[in-house]
Structure 1
Amino acid sequence: MAWNKDVLAKLNEVTTVQNHPNDDQGKSFEDYPIWVVTIDDKVYLRAGKGKESKWYQSGIKNGGSIELDGQTFDVDYVPVDDPAEISAVTEAYLKKYHGQYPIDMMISDKCADATVELKLK
């Protein structure tokens, strides 16, 4: 399933979305605002604590959802390991969040290694 253009446009406008990764029982265990970027028709998040982040580990294993303007989107969290794609996501973070705290952390190698693409279920 693909993201529609209206949702992608809104994701480009907002500062954060609510991140709801699922635990092993399929229940959301977190309601956490998180920065989001898009490139073309793809949506990306990064874990501030890197791959050790609980939401990162649970999201990859169990999926979850994001909330945007009261609408919930069920997603799979797919790790990104292509260096060119990770670099493009870093540039998207710099463009969207330039000068905001904690941009330096979010473009660090630790966070870049914890880049995920959100794929609609």
Structure 2
Amino acid sequence: MASWSEKELVAFKEAQTLQNRPYNDDKSFAEDNPVWEVTVDKQVFIRGAKGIENTKWYQAGIKNGGQVEVAGKTFEVEYQPVKNAELIKQVTAAYNKKYQGQYPIDLMVSEPVAKATVAVVKK
């Protein structure tokens, strides 16, 4: 796995959203939609707003990988579920800081959604 460069991390930090494109089994896109993203410790994180079981892109991405786009650049990625409770808390704090006062921040920092946190790992 490749690491995100400092320039790429800055692009993620400055962007309101990234374009999320997880693959289906046939390598078509399961979805192509903007999602909120945050960075913590030189990693990029996104969350499934409907939780683990009901977020289609979460299921497809974990299984098949996909692409994300930010600041006009597209990256092949893997989606790695985050199970570490402390890291999930740090990601929640980053969401609260970046998206404070925006709708639907209350949903995105709720416990069911926090459990659907994934690290977006550059291939």
Query: Which TM-score bucket, shorter chain as reference?
Result: over 0.9
Aligned to 1:11: 12
TM-score of the two chains, using structure 2 as the length reference: 0.96
RMSD of Structure 2 on Structure 1 (CA): 0.7
Q: How far has the Cα of 1:16 moved from its partner?
A: 0.4
Aligned to 2:85: 83
Number of residues paired by the alignment? 121
Give yes or no for the alignment of 1:106 onto 2:108. Answer: yes
**Contact 2:30/2:56, CA 8 A, preserved across alignment:** no
The one-letter code sitting in structure 1 at the alignment partner of 2:4 is: W
State the percentage of identical aligned residues. Answer: 48
Q: Name structure 2 gaps, 5 residues minimum.
A: none
Aligned to 2:72: 70
The one-letter code sitting in structure 1 at the alignment partner of 2:103 is: Y
Moved over 2 A (4+): none
Which residues of 2 match residues 39-58 of structure 1 at below 5 A? 39-51=40-52, 52-58=54-60
Give yes or no for the alignment of 1:23 onto 2:24. Answer: yes
TM-score of the two chains, using structure 1 as the length reference: 0.97
Q: Name structure 1 gaps, 5 residues minimum.
A: none
1:18-73 CA deviation, whole Å, 9 max, x = no partner? 00000011222321000000012100000100112000000000000101122111
